């Protein structure tokens, strides 16, 4: 089979593969926001693109300083870096793919088409093994089909450019097929985010093999439309060099006729930094960092109809990101260490975000708090480091989020201490679990008692929809207040308070007595107090508790006991 580029590459050594990884990272970064946008629920959760990019970045940092021509040794290092930086479930699976690939290379000095076929099969097998209940229509399906393709094409050619080209084509098809395999994707009208991220990684490697740029957004602009224009390179840059004068990250679309893009761009650029104004006379995408998020939106409204508004407080992101940087040994540790007078038999590492929630967990006996949660999932290395900071040989981890579970389990596996993960899925579950901690019992008995205790509480959460979606018979519009009960989106409302009322109305309150409202960083105490009074009046037989959680993204997290 011929290669349209003319050149033939029959073997890759460590140096060559290293530049391909660098290219894959740069390319994935371009598409970080595209992947983030592929979220099943319209909630600020998960951030697969961010998680995969940070995982790849950690893998890259591990090999960047190396002068390693030996393919086998390089891939082992790569896998180690990915594992240490693995964030979120997608990042953990990605790290398993690299680990499997490294084992598949099996010490070969170079990578040939045959080696790649063997390595991709090992990557797929390892990824499947890393998941308790593998689900098709996810990144697992994509990696397995890539392994199939690698075997097929290796039988036909030894030209690696052809092999990678075929892998990228197959990857794209495989991703496109995910909604037909996984109903929840079909319902939400998206493809699988992890699969898409993996596809972009292979695409980046192929581009590098062909000598194409992976850092220019012009290149990307030709192959895709709007999402990539969010310029996620800028975001990574922001995270590294965050300017406190412009704490708000604002993004929106303007739709209209004869839009004066130049004039709009000038106006936007003068407001802050990292400005990006792209589009044509009919539609423009704006991304800028400003002190006052209202200003660019008002300006945009003068030009046309503003939609898809996303405003984020980067101080929160920055804290978590710089924490991960410091974690790599570049500064003081980001985790809060509460030095106990004497080492307890069992220490507890808790993942949560928000000063108030951290204080709650500390008051209940958490030893080390790892910042993170709904967004900004902490890495395996961060959790591992927190485990290392505890003075005990026995450690329990409360991930408090399903997206932090796998990284926690990885940390538990890698740690030299005796570590058990209590698979809590929410803040209320974490609180309830921690109450059951008994220093006199074994780690395993504690884990059993704690998960039992966690299951005695119901979790309700209120946030804003991040996009339009039709789900569970609800027609959710971006910006609506939405309510989740036990992770299920069941309420769509006009206001947060209304969402809370509906959630409680939908809960079986007869068998419960205590409702705790943890209000987030976007809610003032007076607003929370007002809601509390209304609830107390509506449910005189229940006891209510109001706690300043300070968590981002979720104005209310509600524990129903």
DSSP conformation class of 378: P
What is the rounded CA–CA span in Å between residue 262 and residue 265? 5
514, 524, 530, 536: which one binds another protein (CB under 8 A): 514
**Shortest Cβ 436–another protein spacing (Å):** 7
CA–CA distances in Å: residue 167 to residues 43, 78, 161, 191, 195: 32, 20, 10, 18, 13
Contact status: 359 vs another protein (CB under 8 A): yes
Contact status: 516 vs another protein (CB under 8 A): yes
- Closer CB to another protein, 56 or 515, in the complex: 515
Per-residue binder mask for another protein (CB under 8 A), 419-448, x = binder: ------------xx--xx-x----------
Residues 208-227 that bind another protein (CB under 8 A): none
> Counting beta carbons within 10 angstroms of the beta carbon of residue 434, is it exposed (0 to 12), middle (13 to 18) or buried (19 or more)?
buried
Query: Judged by CB under 8 A, how many residues of this single chain contact another protein?
Result: 19
- Closer CB to another protein, 12 or 360, in the complex: 360
**Shortest Cβ 456–another protein spacing (Å):** 8
What's the alpha-carbon Rg for the chain, to the nearest Å?
24
| Contact between residue 257 and residue 236 where contact means Cβ atoms under 8 Å apart | no
| Residue span binding another protein (CB under 8 A) among the ranges 83-91, 345-353, 359-367, 486-494 | 359-367
3-state class (DSSP) for residue 277: strand
What is the rounded CA–CA span in Å between residue 23 and residue 35? 17
- Closer CB to another protein, 221 or 435, in the complex: 435
Label the pairing between strands 305-313 and 273-279: unpaired
Contact status: 364 vs another protein (CB under 8 A): yes
What is the rounded CA–CA span in Å between residue 462 and residue 466? 12
| Residue span binding another protein (CB under 8 A) among the ranges 58-66, 95-103, 161-169, 352-360 | 352-360
Q: Per DSSP, which regions of 439-506 are E strands?
A: 458-464, 469-471, 474-476, 481-485, 488-493
- Closer CB to another protein, 276 or 431, in the complex: 431
Q: Which of 348, 361, 346, 342 is nearest to 443 (CA)?
A: 346
- Closer CB to another protein, 444 or 488, in the complex: 444
Which tokens hold the place of 230?
A: 């969010």
Residues 456-475 that bind another protein (CB under 8 A): 456
| Residue span binding another protein (CB under 8 A) among the ranges 186-194, 385-393, 418-426, 543-551 | 543-551
**Shortest Cβ 512–another protein spacing (Å):** 9
| Residue span binding another protein (CB under 8 A) among the ranges 109-117, 134-142, 220-228, 508-516 | 508-516
Per-residue binder mask for another protein (CB under 8 A), 383-422, x = binder: ----------------------------------------
| Contact between residue 49 and residue 80 where contact means Cβ atoms under 8 Å apart | no
> Counting beta carbons within 10 angstroms of the beta carbon of residue 416, is it exposed (0 to 12), middle (13 to 18) or buried (19 or more)?
exposed
| Contact between residue 115 and residue 108 where contact means Cβ atoms under 8 Å apart | yes
Residues 312-351 that bind another protein (CB under 8 A): none
- Closer CB to another protein, 499 or 515, in the complex: 515
222, 244, 257, 363: which one binds another protein (CB under 8 A): 363
136, 152, 224, 545: which one binds another protein (CB under 8 A): 545
9, 283, 306, 360: which one binds another protein (CB under 8 A): 360
Residue written as token pair 């629920």: 41
DSSP conformation class of 377: P
Contact status: 188 vs another protein (CB under 8 A): no
**Shortest Cβ 375–another protein spacing (Å):** 24
Going by C-beta distance under 8 Å and a sequence separation of 6 or more, which residues neighbour residue 430?
A: 350, 352, 361, 398, 400, 424, 454
Binding footprint of another protein on the chain (CB under 8 A): 356, 359-360, 362-364, 431-432, 435-436, 438, 456, 513-514, 516, 543, 545, 547, 561
């Amino acid at each position: 089979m011929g290669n349209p580029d003319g050149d033939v590459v029959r073997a890759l050594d460590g140096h060559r593969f290293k530049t391909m990884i660098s290219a894959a990272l740069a390319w994935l970064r371009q598409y970080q926001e595209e992947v983030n946008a592929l979220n099943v629920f319209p909630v600020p959760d998960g951030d697969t693109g961010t998680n995969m990019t940070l995982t790849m970045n950690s893998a890259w940092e591990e090999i960047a300083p190396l002068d390693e021509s030996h393919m086998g040794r390089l891939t082992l290092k790569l896998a180690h870096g990915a594992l240490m930086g693995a964030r979120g479930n997608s990042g953990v699976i990605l790290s398993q793919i690299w680990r499997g690939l490294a084992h598949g290379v099996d010490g070969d000095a170079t990578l040939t088409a045959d080696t790649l076929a063997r390595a991709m099969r090992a990557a797929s097998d390892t990824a499947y093994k890393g998941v308790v209940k593998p689900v098709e229509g996810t990144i697992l399906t994509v990696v397995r089909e890539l392994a199939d393709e690698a075997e097929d094409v290796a039988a036909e050619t030894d030209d690696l450019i052809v092999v990678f080209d075929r892998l990228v084509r197959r990857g794209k098809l495989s991703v496109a097929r995910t909604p037909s395999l996984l109903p929840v994707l079909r319902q939400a009208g998206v493809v699988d985010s992890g699969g898409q991220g993996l596809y972009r990684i292979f695409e980046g490697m192929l581009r590098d093999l062909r000598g194409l740029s992976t850092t220019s957004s012009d290149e990307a602009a030709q192959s895709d439309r709007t999402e990539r224009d969010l310029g996620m390179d800028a975001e990574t840059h922001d995270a590294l060099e965050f300017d406190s004068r412009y704490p708000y990250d604002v993004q929106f679309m303007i739709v209209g006729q004869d839009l004066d893009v130049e004039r709009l761009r000038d106006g936007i650029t003068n407001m802050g930094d990292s400005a990006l104004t792209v589009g044509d006379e009919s539609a423009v995408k704006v991304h800028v960092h400003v002190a006052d998020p209202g200003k660019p939106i008002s300006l945009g409204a003068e030009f046309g109809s503003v939609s898809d508004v996303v405003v984020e407080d980067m101080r929160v992101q920055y804290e978590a990101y710089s924490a991960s940087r410091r974690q790599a040994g570049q500064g003081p540790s980001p985790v809060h260490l509460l030095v106990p007078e004497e080492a307890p038999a069992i220490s507890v590492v808790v993942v949560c975000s928000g000063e108030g929630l951290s204080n709650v967990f500390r008051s209940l006996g958490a030893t080390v708090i790892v910042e993170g949660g709904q967004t900004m999932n902490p890495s395996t290395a961060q959790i591992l480091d927190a485990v290392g900071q505890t003075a005990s040989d026995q450690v329990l981890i409360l991930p408090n989020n399903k997206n932090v579970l796998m990284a926690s389990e990885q940390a538990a596996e890698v740690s030299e201490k005796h570590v058990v993960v209590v698979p809590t899925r929410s803040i209320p579950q974490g609180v309830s679990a921690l109450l059951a901690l008994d220093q006199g019992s074994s780690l395993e008995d504690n884990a059993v008692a704690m998960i039992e205790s966690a299951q005695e509480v119901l979790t309700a959460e209120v946030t804003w929809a991040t996009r339009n979606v039709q789900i569970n018979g609800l027609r959710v519009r971006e910006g609506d207040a939405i309510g989740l009960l036990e992770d299920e989106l069941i309420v769509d409302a006009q206001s947060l308070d209304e969402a809370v009322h509906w959630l409680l109305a939908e809960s079986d309150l007869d068998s419960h007595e205590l409702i705790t409202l943890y209000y987030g960083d976007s809610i003032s105490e007076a607003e929370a107090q007002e809601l509390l009074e209304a609830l107390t009046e509506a449910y005189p037989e229940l006891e209510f508790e109001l706690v300043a959680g300070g968590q981002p993204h979720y104005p209310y997290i509600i524990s129903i006991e």
